[in-house]
């Protein structure tokens, strides 16, 4: 076969005729809409199955048209805009959220070179040398939609949700960006098609285990396993999904940043949220799971015939669905984290672990590049010294100091006029009721006659 | 004039206009949003000059992180909806400092190059930029990162109450 799984290179992009570009744009747009509708149903069905109940089963075959009906109904609902809202920004926020969500898929590769109406073209909208940076930039822009919606609603709970969400997304974006650095270092490129190509496998078998020469695994999920784990965790945090769904924690914040939104604007946020989930799944599949390439045992069939042209779409969508299933599984299984636990995980666990891993990877790369000489021994000696220092100087744990009531009152009094009534930022956990019961402590009783005002 | 020149001029006009709005608007949050427009226009100018890496890093860091942090801080302390009357300072100091800096830099650039043509090296690819930064400019780079680290630690020290000092305000 002549065109067997021809990898597109950067030179293949930017030569499409205008109608081909138009077809690709419309196809990506439609695919995202359909995938969103599907994901909502997928989530509801899987969660229902895990909770041993039927789930939605009324509209369409087995209930699979439920989300389509919901989506068609939403724009016709009444639109309520709060009087206190900042109108311009209130309108702008859903637009930003929706727009940024769609950008990522412009640089996601769906497959190798294919033939569309006689034109040979990559199965990807476009690619640039710094494609992954474009993805990260689009993700970081989408924070605006949430922050501004929370602020512009002119109401307390949305503001709290917006604040939580911006802190959360910025924190986990850092961890996410750093986890991708290991992929850059291994692949030697930032273009998405280039990264998929680098995971193609078939590299020189450089191991020798008693005459057996196994090929090194080619997926970056295995080669850079710590990065993959960190990416998966920070992807959940980045998309505000359970167990990290603090920005819209229903039991604490009513509904978070989109409490005051209704009708079509609410639909935009809902769409953006699910597309963000699909985005991180697609990026994860591309960067860590080999993109559109067929998984290992199947890739042996007939020298990789299953990588040929349109087959890529199947494997890509399959990997995305597996990722999405992971998200849904987490939501059905885990309870929500407390906010301080969540921030501690991001800044004190994921970030240092990531930095140490990048250092180790850089050391490995350096020793591989110069197999002779003293570099290898320098690197090993450095690792040993750093590990010893870390073991000896590891700080001991100390309990947090509780702020006194006066401090909290002072903190509240310092807020300027016209501020939102923020709760005091103490982050103290109240003692558990069960412990109080066990130790015999009781709340002071509030019953008693004579203190109530008389009714006239 | 080529299309790139027209685009550069338009983006520059957007950046300057939005920067002007940052200064004169009395809505605190909207000033932040105009700052986003300014930085975005500058990123667009980089993109026109084929410096892809710099452009996207500009969007990622300045638009996506710095201004978001700015808005975050504004919302954490106070986030009034509507105009604030207490934002204005006398304008002549700002005019003096800003105008002086702009004039000085402009004069310096004009005097330095005098309309001569400079051969641009190559397009600003990530590889080229990384090589330049980590070969020829590695010392300034490291000094800058140490400076940032010191600023970070300084901010933590200033904002934390001293240990054992319970009476101090938080």
Average pLDDT over residues A372-394: 79
Judge whether A419 is closer than 8 Å to chain B, CB to CB. Answer: yes
A420 and B CB contact within 8 Å: yes
3-state SS class at B110: helix
pLDDT tens-digit readout, A23-35: 888 988 999 989 9
Digit-coded pLDDT (tens) for B130-168 = 888 888 888 998 999 999 999 999 988 888 776 666 554
Say what the alpha-carbon torsion angle A215, A216, A221, A227 is, to the nearest 10 degrees: -170
Closest CA to A196 of A116, A280, A124, A115: A124
Q: Nearest by CB to B53, from A89, A130, A422: name it.
A: A130
**DSSP 8-state secondary structure symbol assigned to residue B62:** I
Tell me whether residues A137 and B64 touch, CB distance under 8 A: yes
A159 touches chain B (CB under 8 A): yes
Q: How confident is the model at residue B170 (pLDDT cuts 50, 70, 90)?
A: very low
Q: Which residues of A touch B169 (CB under 8 A)?
A: 407, 410-411, 414
| φ/ψ (deg, to 5) at A420 | -70, 145
Would you list which residues of chain B are within 8 Å, Cβ to Cβ, of chain A?
A: 27, 29-30, 33, 36, 52-53, 56-57, 59-60, 63-65, 68-69, 71-72, 75-82, 125-126, 166, 169-170
pLDDT for A302 equals 65
CB A169 within 8 A of CB A143: yes
- Is A398 a residue whose pLDDT tops 70? no
Ramachandran angles phi, psi of A281, nearest 5°: -65, -45
Please give the interface size between A and B, counted as residue pairs whose CB atoms are below 8 Å apart: 98
Which residues of chain A are within 8 Å of residue B59 when distances are taken between CB atoms?
Answer: 137, 140-141
* Highest-confidence segment of A314-323, A393-402, A418-427, B154-163: A314-323
CB contact A129 to B (< 8 Å)? yes
Measured between alpha carbons, how far is A211 from A273 in angstroms, rounded to an integer?
A: 52
Q: Which H/E stretch holds residue B91?
A: helix B91-113
β-partners of residue A114 are: A121
Give the CA diameter of chain A: 98
Query: Across-strand partners of A121?
Result: A114
Instruction: Tell me the per-residue pLDDT of A334-348, one tens digit each, with 9 for 90 and over.
Output: 888 877 888 888 888
What whole-number distance in Å separates Cα of residue A389 and Cα of residue A36? 49
Closest CA to A352 of A185, A210, A179, A188: A179
Give the least confident one: A184-193, A373-382, A416-425, B83-92.
Answer: A416-425
Q: Tell me, what's the pLDDT at A281?
A: 92
Q: Of A210-219, A437-446, B119-128, B150-159, give the range with the top mean pLDDT.
A: B150-159
A3 has pLDDT over 50: no
What is the phi-psi region of residue A117: left when phi exceeds 0, alpha when psi lies from -120 to 50, beta otherwise?
Answer: left
Tell me the mean pLDDT in the region A153-165.
Answer: 82
Q: Residues A225-251: what's their mean pLDDT? A: 82
- Least Cα distance to A126 among A193, A50, A31 occurs for A193
Residue A63 pLDDT > 70: yes
Q: By the CB < 8 Å criterion, does A140 face chain B?
A: yes
Q: Are A275 and A32 in contact (CB under 8 A)?
A: yes
Q: Which CATH class is domain B1-81?
A: mainly alpha
3-state secondary structure of B78: coil
The pLDDT, as a whole number, for residue B120 is 66
Q: Residue A137: its chain B contacts at CB < 8 A?
A: 56, 59-60, 63-64
For the entire predicted model, the pTM comes to 0.78
Structure tokens at B98: 């800003």
What are the residues whose beta carbons fall under 8 Å from the beta carbon of B118, sequence distance 6 or more? none
Average pLDDT for residues B104-129, to the nearest whole number?
78
* C-alpha radius of gyration, chain B, whole number: 20
Query: Tell me, what's the pLDDT at A124?
Result: 80
Closest Cα to residue A116, out of A18, A218, A209, A23? A23
pLDDT of res. B110: 86
Q: Tell me the backbone φ, ψ of residue A395, rounded to 5 degrees.
A: -70, 145
Chain A CB contacts of B166 below 8 Å: 404
Q: pLDDT tens-digit profile of B30-74?
A: 888 899 999 999 999 988 887 888 888 888 888 888 888 888 888
Q: What is the mean pLDDT of residues A99-104?
A: 88
With a cut of 60, say whether residue A4 has pLDDT above it: no
């Amino acid at each position: 076969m002549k065109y067997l799984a021809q990898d597109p290179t950067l030179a293949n992009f930017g030569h499409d005729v205008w109608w081909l570009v138009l077809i690709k744009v419309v196809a990506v747009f439609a695919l995202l809409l359909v995938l969103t509708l599907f994901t909502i149903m997928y989530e509801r069905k899987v969660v229902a199955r895990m909770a041993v109940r039927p789930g939605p089963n009324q509209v369409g075959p087995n209930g699979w048209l439920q989300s389509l009906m919901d989506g068609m109904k939403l724009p016709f609902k009444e639109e309520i805009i709060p009087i206190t809202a900042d109108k311009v920004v209130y309108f702008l926020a859903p637009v930003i959220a929706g727009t940024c969500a769609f950008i990522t898929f412009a640089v996601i590769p769906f497959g190798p070179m294919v033939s569309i109406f006689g034109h040979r073209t990559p199965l990807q909208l476009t690619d640039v040398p710094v494609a992954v940076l474009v993805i990260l930039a689009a993700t970081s822009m989408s924070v605006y939609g949430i922050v501004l919606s929370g602020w512009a609603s002119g109401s307390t709970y949305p503001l709290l949700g917006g604040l939580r969400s911006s802190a959360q997304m910025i924190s986990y974006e850092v961890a996410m960006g750093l986890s991708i650095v290991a992929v850059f270092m291994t692949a030697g490129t930032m273009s998405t098609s280039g990264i998929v190509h680098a995971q193609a496998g078939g590299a020189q078998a450089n191991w020798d285990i008693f005459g057996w020469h196994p090929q090194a695994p080619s997926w970056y999920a295995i080669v850079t396993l710590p990065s993959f784990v960190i990416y998966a965790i920070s992807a959940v945090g980045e998309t505000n999904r359970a167990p990290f769904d603090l920005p819209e924690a229903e039991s604490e914040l009513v509904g978070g940043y989109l409490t005051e939104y209704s009708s079509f604007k609410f639909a935009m946020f809902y769409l953006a949220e699910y597309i963000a989930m699909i985005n991180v799944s697609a990026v994860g599949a591309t960067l860590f799971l080999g993109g559109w390439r067929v998984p290992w045992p199947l890739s042996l069939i007939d020298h990789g015939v299953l990588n040929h042209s349109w087959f890529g779409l199947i494997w890509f969508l399959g990997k995305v669905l597996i990722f999405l299933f992971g998200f849904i599984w987490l939501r059905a299984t885990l309870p929500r984290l407390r906010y301080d636990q969540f921030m501690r995980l991001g800044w004190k666990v994921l970030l240092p672990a990531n930095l140490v891993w990048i250092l180790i990877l850089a050391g490995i790369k350096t020793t591989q590049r110069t197999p002779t000489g003293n570099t290898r021994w320098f690197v090993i000696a450095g690792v040993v010294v750093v590990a010893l220092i870390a073991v000896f100087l590891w700080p001991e744990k100390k309990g947090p100091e509780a702020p006194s009531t006066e401090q909290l009152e002072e903190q509240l009094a310092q807020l300027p006029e016209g501020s939102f009534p923020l709760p005091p930022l103490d982050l103290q956990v109240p003692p558990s009721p069960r412990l109080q019961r066990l130790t015999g402590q009781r709340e002071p009783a509030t019953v008693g006659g004579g203190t109530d005002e008389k009714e006239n | 004039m080529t299309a790139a020149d027209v685009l550069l001029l338009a983006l520059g006009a957007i950046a300057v206009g939005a920067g002007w709005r940052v200064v004169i608007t009395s809505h605190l949050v909207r000033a932040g949003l105009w700052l986003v427009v300014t930085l975005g226009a500058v990123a667009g100018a980089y993109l026109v000059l084929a410096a892809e890496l710099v452009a996207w890093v500009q969007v990622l860091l300045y638009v996506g992180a710095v201004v978001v942090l700015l808005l975050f801080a504004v919302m954490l302390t106070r986030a009034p909806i509507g105009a604030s009357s207490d934002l204005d300072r006398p304008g002549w100091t700002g005019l003096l400092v800003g105008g002086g800096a702009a004039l000085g830099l402009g004069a310096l650039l004009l005097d330095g190059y005098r309309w001569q043509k400079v051969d641009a090296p190559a397009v600003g690819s990530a590889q080229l930029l990384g090589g330049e930064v980590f070969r020829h400019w590695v010392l300034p780079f490291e000094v800058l990162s140490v400076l940032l680290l010191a600023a970070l630690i300084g901010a933590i020290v200033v904002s934390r109450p001293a240990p054992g000092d319970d009476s101090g305000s938080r």
